[in-house]
Structure formats: structure tokens, C-alpha cells
A and B are shown apart, each in its own frame.
Chain A
């Protein structure tokens, strides 16, 4: 069983605050880590795909880092805005049954208070 853990489960921040949350995954047989953003009543949307240890990706005010040796990734949001309110999912890509599959964490639900 592959465990992908995300913390915290939920988070409330004031508009303008910066925040970060964690995704932990198995450090062996690493292929890739995906981050998704899931707004209420919408579909999950891809943010980043990360494959290399030490990788850092950025998209506007959102960035992510990757440590494959210790099995964690951080997602940072700088100057949170109400529109950042969503659940942020990470997913670990593994090889199973002859293909690559994603196993998802439960997500971190972010609420940005205006």
C-alpha cells in the first residue's frame, strides 16, 4: 500500500499571508510527484509535475519544492488571495500492473479569509 500523506488537513489564512503545506510520499521507487488544485464544484486541475530531487517549480504566486531522498514536497503560496481557496492535492506516480498510476493524498483544504 502506497501512503501519500498531506498536512495540515485544512488551513485558514488571512488574505495577504503566505502559507505552505506538506506532501509526504514513499522515497523508494520514485517516478514523479504531481500537484493538483481542486476548487469546490470543479474538477482537479494540474499545477505542477516534479521529477528530479531538488526540483523547484513556480506558477505565479505558487511554488513547489521536491525532496525525493526524504520523500516530501512543499507547496508555497505567497500573499494568499481569496481565489486561492481550494483543496490542494498531491499525487505520487508509481509503476504498477504494467503502467504508471497516481495515488493521491487526501489534500489540504485552504481557506483564505478576505
Chain B
């Protein structure tokens, strides 16, 4: 039973396209996140979403937008893809957004923009 799942696992697309990555968690958590693993291998927070409250990392371009149809899903939409968007994107969830809450990660989606 996968706790946090992402689809697709790999995504190869052309520059300028619009694409989405889906994330689902079956843990009953209230908070979900998107991270980007950059070229230096750091995991950097992009968004957190808790009870319809979206917290955005100010460095994330507005071409990126999270969409949450319900508490168990947080999808990532990317418009007008650029070469620099190539990275591995990880979804995560936690019970709440509290200090000690452990985050559970999905397997990652490797996005390649050509």
C-alpha cells in the first residue's frame, strides 16, 4: 500500500508545453507539500497546502501552481515549461504542519524539458 504516490514517474516534454504532476496520499493527512530537488541535489520547498491554505515559497515562478481537488490530492501544474524546470519533483504529506510532524514523501517525478 503506497502512502504517497505520484504520477507520472518520468515526464519528458518540450519547452513551452504545459504539464501536470499528480500526487495522492492515503494517510489521512491534512497538509501536503511540493519539493523540487535542484541541480545541487538540495530538496527545496515549493508549496505547502493545509486546509485550503496555500503557502507559497516566494522564489517559485508563478508558472507553477498547485491544485487541490480534495484533502488527499495536491497536483502540480506547470505552464510554459522552461529548460531550467528540469528536476526531480517530490510530493510529501504530514498529519498537520506542526513542528514535530514527520513528512512522508512520494517516489518523485523526474521532469526533463527538451
- A residues lining the B interface (CB < 8 Å): 31-32, 34, 42-46, 49, 51, 89, 91, 93, 97-107
Contacts and interface: CB of A to CB of B under 8 A. Distances in A.
Contacts of B75: none
B105 A44 contact: yes
Interface residues of B, number: 25
A46 B103 contact: yes
Contacts, number: 54
A105 B90 CA distance: 16
28 contacts: A32-B99, A32-B100, A43-B4, A43-B90, A43-B104, A43-B106, A43-B107, A43-B108, A45-B105, A46-B102, A49-B100, A49-B102, A51-B99, A89-B43, A91-B43, A97-B55, A97-B56, A98-B55, A99-B97, A100-B97, A100-B98, A100-B99, A101-B55, A102-B103, A103-B44, A103-B45, A104-B42, A107-B41
